[in-house]
Structures are given as C-alpha cells and as structure tokens.
C-alpha cells in the first residue's frame, strides 16, 4: 500500500467515523487535525478504533502518543510503519 493510498483511506475513515461534512480533498495532509477537524479526546478514541479496523493494525499503550494523530502525513507514516512491521 502506497503513502497516497494510505492517506486516501485515512481521510475517508475520518469522514465516515467522525461524521464529517467534508470531502477527502478538503482535508489537508499537513494541517493539524485537532484544529482543522475539531477532534477531541472522544473522537480520537474513534480514530484509534478506525485505524485498527481499517488497516488491521494494533496500537498498544506503549506506542500511543497524541502526536501520532497530528496530521494526515504523520498518521500515514505511522500506519505504513505498522503495516511493514506486521508483514515482516
């Protein structure tokens, strides 16, 4: 899965799980999600569950850090690393 595919899937997941009234194109790759989309701690939990469901990855407590959810670029890099680790 390429970075662009991961980003597209992340944006779609955010829209669906957080019931956002935006298109994927309206979510910038480098804009802080907490500000741009108004994500709070409850929504962040939904994003974590979405990552696990959509990509089949598991986020354990030791690696959980709010900074992982800063923007689409950061999230996609994390997902790419997790997928590579699971495939190895």
Q: Would you say 31 and 61 are in contact if contact means Cβ atoms under 8 Å apart?
A: no
| Gap between the Cα atoms of 74 and 21, Å rounded | 22
pTM as predicted: 0.89
Can you tell me which residue has the tokens 């850090």?
A: 65
Q: How many domains does the chain have?
A: 1
For residue 88, the model assigns a pLDDT of 63
Q: Residue 74's domain is classified under what CATH number?
A: 1.10.1200.10
For residue 86, the model assigns a pLDDT of 82
| Gap between the Cα atoms of 80 and 13, Å rounded | 16
Q: Would you say 13 and 54 are in contact if contact means Cβ atoms under 8 Å apart?
A: yes
For residue 60, the model assigns a pLDDT of 84
For residue 41, the model assigns a pLDDT of 80
For residue 71, the model assigns a pLDDT of 95
DSSP state of 68: G
Which stretches in the chain have pLDDT values below 70? 88
| Gap between the Cα atoms of 8 and 76, Å rounded | 9
Structural domain containing residue 82: 3-87
Q: Would you say 6 and 43 are in contact if contact means Cβ atoms under 8 Å apart?
A: no
């Amino acid at each position: 899965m390429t970075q662009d595919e991961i980003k597209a899937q992340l944006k779609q997941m955010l829209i669906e799980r957080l019931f956002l009234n935006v298109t994927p194109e309206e979510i910038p790759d480098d804009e802080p999600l907490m500000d741009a989309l108004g994500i709070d701690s409850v929504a962040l939990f939904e994003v974590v569950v979405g990552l696990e469901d959509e990509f089949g990855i598991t986020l354990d407590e030791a690696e959980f850090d709010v900074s992982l959810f800063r923007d689409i670029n950061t999230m996609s890099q994390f997902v790419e690393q997790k997928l590579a680790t699971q495939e190895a």
